[in-house]
């Protein structure tokens, strides 16, 4: 480091070589995720994590970091879900959270919200041996059911009245008795003529390509 600047090429080479010599090295994978992955070298950082994930069979964190990065940077939902399922198998306290994230990534890959809802319901019902996971998924089911009902009402409204201007019109015109409540307390919004799920906003993250 020199005056706040770093030689990214050196960081990449050094951490990749350590990953080859000792892929189990804890500091190396942890630093690679922070310095490389989030410093503009996500593919190189993910390769260090992949090696650590394979070597550290007892550690859920490399699999979680790798899975998250596959979804966020590479948009590879299948590989991300595989890694997150692996993290869940290795986890002690957060297995349900990892499995929930894998399920939600798969659900969001469906273009049709009704297919996504059917998938979520099946996953929730299949999780009867894991009450914590089942409770997490049940909230997502209720949330998606709200989106389905809103979009159905929007289609009926627009078939007779033209473009929907705000969600309140669905209640005003008697298509819904009230707007559905989101158990996650994020809600729904009309964006570019389409009703979508509101997401938690993190400054600077949503603008990533």
Q: Are 105 and 72 in contact (CB under 8 A)?
A: no
Per residue in 77-103, pLDDT tens?
999 999 999 999 999 888 999 999 999
Average pLDDT over residues 3-28: 81
Please provide the DSSP assignment of 21-40 as one string.
H-TT-HHHHHHIIIIIGGGT
Per residue in 113-154, pLDDT tens?
999 999 999 999 999 889 999 999 999 999 999 999 999 999
Q: Where are the domains of the chain?
A: 8-109, 117-209
The residue assigned the tokens 């306290």 is 93
Q: Given 1.20.1250.20, 1.25.40.10, 1.20.120.1200, 3.30.110.60, which CATH number is that of 8-109?
A: 1.25.40.10
pTM for the whole structure = 0.72
- Kindly state the tokens that stand for 82: 């595989």
């Amino acid at each position: 480091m020199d005056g706040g600047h770093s030689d990214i090429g050196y960081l990449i080479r050094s951490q990749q070589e350590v990953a080859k010599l000792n892929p189990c090295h804890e500091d190396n994978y942890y630093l690679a995720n922070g310095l490389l992955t989030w410093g503009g070298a996500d593919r190189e950082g993910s390769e260090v994590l992949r090696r650590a994930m394979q070597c550290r069979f007892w550690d859920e964190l490399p699999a979680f970091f790798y899975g998250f990065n596959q979804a966020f940077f590479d948009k590879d939902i299948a590989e991300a879900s595989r890694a997150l399922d692996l993290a869940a198998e290795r986890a002690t306290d957060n297995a349900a959270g990892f499995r929930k994230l894998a399920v939600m990534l798969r659900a969001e890959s469906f273009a049709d919200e009704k297919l996504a809802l059917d998938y979520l319901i099946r996953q929730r019902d299949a999780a009867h041996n894991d009450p914590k996971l089942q409770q997490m998924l049940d909230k997502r089911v209720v949330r998606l059911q709200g989106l389905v009902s809103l979009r159905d009402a929007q289609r009926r409204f627009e078939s007779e009245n033209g473009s929907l201007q705000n969600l309140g019109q669905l209640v005003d015109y008697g298509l819904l008795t009230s707007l559905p409540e989101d158990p996650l307390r994020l809600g729904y919004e009309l964006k570019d003529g389409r009703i979508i799920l509101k997401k938690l906003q993190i400054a600077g993250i949503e603008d990533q390509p």
